[in-house]
Amino acid sequence: MNRRAFKQQLSHALIKAKRSNMKLALLFFDLDKFKEINDTKGHEVGDLVLQEIAQRLKGSIRESDFCGRLGGDEFVVCLDLLQDHSGVINKAYQMLEKLQKPLQLNQESLEIGVSIGVALYPEQATQVPELLRIADEAMYTAKHQSGNTVYCAHQDKHDHTSLVS
């Protein structure tokens, strides 16, 4: 799903969540050092990496969840129809673990690092642009901390708390 389709589906998910008094989580993924793969292995290999990451994401979400590629090496996942957020961070780490498994491409093993930012509806944002911005900022915090980790925006929109040791 591309950026436009994802934003549209996320908008519908927010409306549905509000009507049914449910919650959702937005996970923002960025591949660490992806440019190096493109530069050293070529764009064809880079494209294969993106396809494999997309398949791994699709294979790790529930039927009610959805994912998309925003562009470049950025992906997003909406964990939809949640009673609460208690399992979101564990789910993000499970997805991180799945994405970190080496990719076998052209008889070569490639290790991929992923930084994941998490934003929560309705606690942190109630509109698509704000939810995406908060998740994006959380992802950049994860990337700047060390990369290859998960970072969740704190309940206070401007204060962040790392959920990683």
158 against 3, higher pLDDT: 3
**Closest by CA position to 82, among listed 139, 36, 127, 16:** 16
User: Which value, in Å, is the radius of gyration of the alpha carbons in the chain?
Assistant: 15
- pLDDT tens, residue by residue, 56-99: 999 999 999 999 999 999 999 999 989 989 899 999 999 999 99
91: containing domain: 3-161
How far is 143 from 109, CA to CA, in rounded Å?
A: 23
**pLDDT reading at 27 higher than 70:** yes
Burial class, 6, CB count within 10 angstroms (exposed 0-12 / middle 13-18 / buried 19+)? buried
Q: Which amino acid is at 73?
A: D
How high is the pLDDT of residue 165?
A: 26
Q: For the sheet with 23-32, list strands across it.
A: 66-71, 74-82, 23-32, 113-121, 150-153, 160-161
Q: Residue holding tokens 């964990």?
A: 79
CATH of the domain at 33: 3.30.70.270
Active-site positions read 73
How far is 69 from 10, CA to CA, in rounded Å?
A: 13
How high is the pLDDT of residue 107?
A: 85
Domain count, the chain: 1
How high is the pLDDT of residue 156?
A: 45
| Angle, alpha carbons 12-71-158 (nearest 5°) | 65
